Amino acid sequence: MNETAVLPRAEIGLRHFMHMVFGWMSLGLLVTGACGAYMASDPKMIVNLIRNPVLFYGLMLGELGLVMFLSAAMARMEASTAKFAFLFYAALTGVSLSTVYLVYTSQSIASTFFLTAGVFGIMAAYGYMTKTDLTAIGNLLFMALIGLVLATLVNIWLHSAAIQWATTYIGILIFTGLTAYDAQKIKALYRPGSDGTDDETKGAILGALALYLDFINLFLSLLRATGKRRE
């Protein structure tokens, strides 16, 4: 007998919703990778981006503003607008992340991506399947994330190698934990009976955005810790 035939309707709907979440997250990563690879195909584009502080920092602020807008206004958007905004954000991230190709070898970037995918997959599966409530851990990790951001900003002026390495390894722990927490939290976004509706699509994109951010930040932390720099 087909396994899905004996599952409760809500469980089938939840599985479909989570497939949508991971599908959109994967599409976002694909767009990011494609944009980053395109920029890396001509290093002059990356150099010109870095040498133009208005464009570079404008891109950073644009990414920050867009992700905040997506998180706050998702419920009021049309589903088509949410899809476009998410993929546009992924494309902007790909452009900004292309700068790693100037610092690390392509082989190192590729190997770190697969390492990230492995860690992410294990933690996301744990967060989805565990019966333990991860809310308390998630709240602690969020507070730690705020401290990490502040320490990173301070280190822009201090240029402390010790702070840089500390934030790198703490970042790995934070985003590893947040992956499990967010995977569990996203299950709560599913509303039985919303299958096939715009609300389901927007909920899936909101969940995909959270996991996408966890993946990207975990990747960058692991790359700083293990990546081989160009000579």
Give the SS3 label for residue 104: strand
- Average pLDDT value for the chain: 93
| pLDDT one-digit tens code per residue, 17-61 | 999 999 999 999 999 999 999 999 999 999 999 999 999 989 999
Distance CA 35, CA 51 (A): 19
Domain residue ranges of the chain, discontinuous segments joined by +: 8-226
Does 145 have pLDDT greater than 50? yes
Q: What is the per-residue pLDDT for 9?
A: 75
Tokens of 121: 């997959």
What amino acid is encoded at 126 in this protein? Answer: Y
**By the 8 A CB rule, do 168 and 221 touch?**
yes
In this predicted structure, what is the pLDDT of residue 89? 97
Q: What angle do CA 208, 209, 214 make, to 5 degrees?
A: 95
Which of 50, 138, 125, 63 minimizes the C-alpha distance to 93?
63
Point out which residues pair with 229 in neighbouring strands.
Answer: 104
Query: In this structure, is the dihedral angle defined by the CA atoms of residues 106, 107, 109 and 110, taken in order, positive or negative?
Result: positive
Check residue 6 and give its pLDDT: 47
Spatial contact of 70 and 202, defined as CB atoms under 8 Å apart: no
DSSP designation for 5: G
pLDDT over threshold 60, residue 128:
yes
In terms of DSSP H, where are the helices of 98-197?
Answer: 100-103, 106-129, 135-158, 161-187
The one-letter amino acid code at 117 reads A
Residue 17 · residue 203 · CB < 8 Å:
yes
pLDDT at residue 193 in the model: 83
User: What letters, b where the CB count within 10 A reaches 16 and e where it falls short, cover 25-63?
Assistant: bebbbebbeebbeebbeeeeebeebeeeeeebeebeeeb
pLDDT tens figures, 69-119: 999 999 899 999 999 999 999 999 999 999 999 999 999 999 999 999 999
Q: pLDDT confidence of 7, banded at 50, 70, 90?
A: low
Mean pLDDT value across residues 210-228: 97
- Rounded Cα gap, residues 147 and 142, in angstroms: 9
Residue type, position 35, single letter: C
Share of the chain above pLDDT 70, in %: 97
